[in-house]
A and B are shown apart, each in its own frame.
Chain A
Amino acid sequence: MPKLEDYISIVGQSIIDDLKLLSEKLKGRIIQNINSTSVGGGVAEILNRSVPLLRELGIDAKWEVIKGGESFFKVTKKFHNALHGREEEITFKDFNIFMETSQRNIEDMKLYGDVIFVHDPQPIALIRNKSKIPNSKWLWRCHIDVSNPNMRVWNFLKEFIVQYEASVFSSPNFAQRLPIRQFLISPSIDPLSDKNRELPQEIIDEVLKKYGVSQDKPIITQVSRFDYLKDPVGVIEAYRQVKKYVNCQLILAGGTATDDPESEEVLNRVKEAKGKDRDIHILLLPPGSDIEINALQRASTVVIQKSIREGFGLTVTEALWKAKPVVAQSVGGIPLQIKHKYSGLLCHSIDGAAFAIKQLLNSPAYAKKLGENGREHIRQNFLLTRHLRDYMLLFLSMYHNEDIVYL
């Protein structure tokens, strides 16, 4: 696991000095992170990297995972979709299932943090234990795009949210009318993780060979879990429009997460849409395929992210960090990462995506410039070191209410 000093060559000494300076102000505080899965999905990924580094900085950061069965995760998946604005039939029984599992976690989970940092809706009801640990500060971190939530689910969750000291969202347009403080913290990627570190060409070649991807025609790639909200079928349609003019290949690579029971259904739809086209590569990658994902992104000519809703879009961050030209739907946190025509191309439809991909495939110099700008933007704003800094500031803000805080 990389150490703090390994980041100096990427972000500079002074950024690391700042982190050390800040961490001194949090010495002795226990930060207890709680989420619903230890593998799969962006939240687990960020915790996997941030917790050890916070500990290296001398902060007592912990990470716990709540327990839940299949029916619980089916309900939380419905919540997730509904918060993203998708039509979902949610019954009283679903709310009951959610509360039953939550109650078991409320009884079983040991809570001891000075700051209790709860991620996403699954563990949200733990706040019911607040009174049992006096002086603890409770934070709710929402990683989901809630710009247009299903109000029934949102109102159900809101009863818990308002009991927290503060909430955290990934994009300004997710802000809600809430009586508690709301902070804006973008997620990040770790430039030294297997998914993002530099790779030798031989590894990239090996991965392409393993999956039967040819190197002699351009590669368009979307890396995402198989999820309706990532619109993989829309990506295939866009590819088909491009393919009429440019002989190219499409890679749809994605894993599954333990808290997402829907992915198989989506995968079947995608396979159906692929038909017999041998230039479409559907790659179902098991957890831990980070080097493969890294290699596929690096081998891509254009990276696409055609999500219908998106919390932040870390796969976009990953691609930009690899200086890839990216075409992405303008949703969630994606516009924070891509300034249209400057660090990538934004689109709003399948046709728009196809047009943008064609542009990039036909203008390599333009595509290269977009990619380079994108990489610099990520270096400045979306790497793990900035995220660690924001989290420390967030924890400190639990003890200060002013707009200008002298530490």
Chain B
Amino acid sequence: MDKIIKAKEPFRFCTRLHLSELTGLRAITLGQLLKLIKKVPGSCIYHHTHRFLQQHQYLSPEPPNDFAYWVSEALGEDKLGERLASIDTIQFTTIRALRNKIIQTIEEYLKEKPLSRIKFTSEDEAFHFVKSISFVLPTRYIATDIFEFTDILKKITIDSIYFHIFESRLRLEKGTNDFSNWLEDSLEEKQLAAEISNLDPYTHTMEDLRMTIVNLIEKRI
């Protein structure tokens, strides 16, 4: 890249901190789990499909969602656990769609194995529904060109990267991640935007994801 192109709009890095809220709802059978997955707030579905990303972000692989983990570990339904774990979250652009896929996966399994509905765990191993409360805050970091953007990306918290990649796309229903949106709209970096958008962030640790994006940008500049 020969000269520095200024972005039409600067990119303001935000960060997202979260607090977990308990719902008091719990399941000890697959039937109860299914019933509650249908009715709990979207923030619960979001929590149980994304919690691992932050709590175990240094470690991979980990069970990608709490439903899959519980079904395998507590109920011993490994086949269903595998099906739930392999739901391709990146294919879904809304929590609603993701929830429907989880419901459909469990319902199909129950059709094949109706007796699985009545298997139960001990109280100690019950599945407890928790929801995520997100607090979004602007940070002091603002990028006006791609070089500044890369420098900030190297040092910003993983919470910020998490917000722009995962939360914006799925929970705020922006279709794609914030980085790709900005690169395309404000810098006309269509190809780079597409490359970042095509990553499956769910199979990276957060630090690894940061470096993968930095490398893609550095290759371009």
Q: How far is the CA of A14 from the CA of B21 in the complex (A)?
A: 25
Q: How far is the CA of A386 from the CA of B133 in the complex (A)?
A: 16
- Say yes or no: B135 contacts A396, CB within 8 Å: yes
Residues from chain B with Cβ under 8 Å of A172 in the complex:
22, 128, 130
Residues from chain B with Cβ under 8 Å of A178 in the complex:
24
Q: Select B19's contact among A147, A175, A393, beta carbons within 8 Å.
A: A393
Residues from chain B with Cβ under 8 Å of A47 in the complex:
none
- Say yes or no: A177 contacts B19, CB within 8 Å: no
- Say yes or no: B136 contacts A17, CB within 8 Å: no
6 of the cross-chain contacts (CB-CB < 8 Å) are A172-B128, A183-B22, A330-B124, A393-B18, A405-B133, A407-B136
Q: How far is the CA of A101 from the CA of B184 in the complex (A)?
A: 66
Q: A179's closest neighbor in chain B, by CB?
A: B24
Residues from chain B with Cβ under 8 Å of A176 in the complex:
24
Residues from chain B with Cβ under 8 Å of A182 in the complex:
21-24
The answer, yes or no, to whether A173 is at the interface (CB within 8 Å) is yes
Number of interface residues of A (CB under 8 A): 39
Q: Select A389's contact among B17, B123, B155, B171, beta carbons within 8 Å.
A: B17
The answer, yes or no, to whether A1 is at the interface (CB within 8 Å) is no
CB distance from A349 to the nearest CB of B (A): 14
The answer, yes or no, to whether A390 is at the interface (CB within 8 Å) is yes
Query: How many B residues are at the interface, by size bracket?
Result: 35 or more
Residues from chain B with Cβ under 8 Å of A389 in the complex:
17
Binding site for B on A (CB under 8 A): 14-15, 17-18, 21-22, 25, 147-148, 169, 172-173, 175-178, 181-185, 330, 373, 376-377, 380-381, 389-390, 393-394, 396-397, 402-407
Q: A182's closest neighbor in chain B, by CB?
A: B22
Residues from chain B with Cβ under 8 Å of A185 in the complex:
19-20
Residues from chain B with Cβ under 8 Å of A396 in the complex:
135
- Say yes or no: A18 contacts B22, CB within 8 Å: no
CB distance from A385 to the nearest CB of B (A): 12
Residues from chain A with Cβ under 8 Å of B17 in the complex:
18, 22, 389, 393
* Given A172-B128, A389-B17, CB of A407 within 8 Å of CB of B135: yes
Contact with A along B106-139 (1 / 0, CB 8 A): 0000000000000000011010101111111101
Residues from chain A with Cβ under 8 Å of B42 in the complex:
403
* Given A14-B157, A172-B130, A405-B133, CB of A184 within 8 Å of CB of B22: yes
The A/B interface has a contact count, at CB < 8 Å, of: 94
The answer, yes or no, to whether B32 is at the interface (CB within 8 Å) is no
Q: How far is the CA of A14 from the CA of B133 in the complex (A)?
A: 21
Q: How far is the CA of A172 from the CA of B132 in the complex (A)?
A: 13
- Say yes or no: B23 contacts A22, CB within 8 Å: no
- Say yes or no: A403 contacts B157, CB within 8 Å: no
CB distance from B23 to the nearest CB of A (A): 7
Residues from chain A with Cβ under 8 Å of B172 in the complex:
404
Q: How far is the CA of A212 from the CA of B97 in the complex (A)?
A: 64
- Say yes or no: A18 contacts B159, CB within 8 Å: yes
> 4 more A-B contacts (CB under 8 A) besides A393-B135, A396-B135?
A172-B130, A184-B20, A377-B56, A405-B135
Q: How far is the CA of A394 from the CA of B41 in the complex (A)?
A: 20
- Say yes or no: B21 contacts A184, CB within 8 Å: yes
- Say yes or no: A404 contacts B139, CB within 8 Å: no
* Given A21-B139, A173-B126, A403-B43, CB of A394 within 8 Å of CB of B19: yes
